Structure 1
Amino acid sequence: MRNTARWAAALGLTAAAVCGPLIGAAVAAPGAAPSSLYAPSALVLTTGHGNDAATATPERAVTLACAPGASGTHPAAAQACAELRGANGDFDALKAQDGVWCTKVYDPVTVTVQGVWQGKRVSYERTFGNTCVKDAIAGSVFAF
């Protein structure tokens, strides 16, 4: 009987030691501080030739995370994050570069964005007349 009581106590203490921290981490108290000081900003950007995302031939996809710092597979992550912050995450508000002249050859390029920008869900699609127009308008955000 004494042996059974020891095993039960040892098993109970072991379970409390292993599971106690897990339960505390999983259940946050109401009004507790958030686990991060930054709202999440993680995006997947794609580009491809075609009139829309459904028919475009995919060419490239990159990831872009902007909080707390710029990271991801985007080749110019820091510059792209700075441009998005300047536009408040509004992809339509990205500024066109001055002095860029593009041909009027129609070779549509479609870009898409899926993910989260500063804690808000983002789903964006835009078709540009050609690659030159895309690069002139979207700056480094879609330059990959």
Structure 2
Amino acid sequence: MRNTARWAATIGLSAAAICGPLTGASVASPGSAPASLYAPSALVLTIGHGDDVATVTPERAVTLTCAPKASGTHPAAALACAELRGVGGDFDALAGRDDVPCTREYNPVLVTAQGVWQGKRVTYERTFGNECVKNANGSSVFAF
């Protein structure tokens, strides 16, 4: 009987040593890999007046998370994510419109995007001549 108790203890401890780390694998801890199968897509978008990112203070800022689902403080997160997916995350490829009449007033509007798109670091900035030209860009990404 004494050998049976020893074997039971040995098997129990071995099982705990082997299976113990596996039970904690589903619990996310700080600094661990994300539990999602999606590459992260999370951005901070800003708008401010001026033409130099070093001197412009953002007037508005929103967050936009696109994976695994659209969320964040962006007012049209689902539409903005769909537009970014449509151009593969290339902000320069977002559709512009030529049919919107805008004044030639120069009151520069600077938009920025910083964060991660499908696991890759993103830094983007663009200056528009004025608010009308920015809005004529036709993209909902910077419409907030």
Shorter-chain-normalised TM-score: which range?
Answer: 0.7 to 0.9
Aligned partners of 1:135 and 1:143 also within 8 Å = yes
Q: CA offsets per residue over residues 55-109 of structure 1, 9 Å max, x none?
A: 1132100000001111000001011111111111000010013521211110000
Give the direction of change, closer, same or farther, for the CA distance of 1:111–1:22 in structure 2 (3 Å limit).
Answer: farther
1:52-67 to 2 correspondences below 5 Å: 52-67=52-67
Secondary structure at the aligned position of 1:80 is classed as helix
- How many Å apart are 1:21 and its aligned residue? 4.8
- Could you tell me which runs of 5 or more consecutive residues in structure 2 were left unpaired when the two chains were aligned: 1-12, 27-33
After superposition, residues 3-82 of structure 1 pair within 5 angstroms as 20-21=20-21, 24-25=24-25, 35-82=35-82
Distance 1:22 1:44 in 2: 35
**Alpha-carbon separation, structure 1, partners of 2:85 and 2:70:** 11
**TM-score (ref. length: structure 1):** 0.75
Structure 1: state its 5+ residue gaps.
1-12, 27-33
Aligned 8 A contact 1:97 1:139 in 2? no
Tell me, in whole angstroms, the C-alpha distance in 2 between the residues paired with 1:22 and 1:84: 37
- CA distance, structure 2, for counterparts of residue 138 and residue 90 of structure 1: 15
Structure 2: distance between partners of 1:112 and 1:70:
19
Who is 1:94 aligned against? 94
- Paired with 1:89 and 1:65, the residues of 2 have a C-alpha distance of 12
RMSD (Å) for aligned C-alpha atoms: 2.5
TM value normalised by structure 2: 0.75
For residues 22 and 126 of structure 2, the distance between their equivalents in structure 1, rounded to whole angstroms, comes to 44
For 2:36, give the aligned amino acid. Answer: S
Number of residue-to-residue matches in the alignment: 122
CA distance in 1, matches of 2:79, 2:24: 39
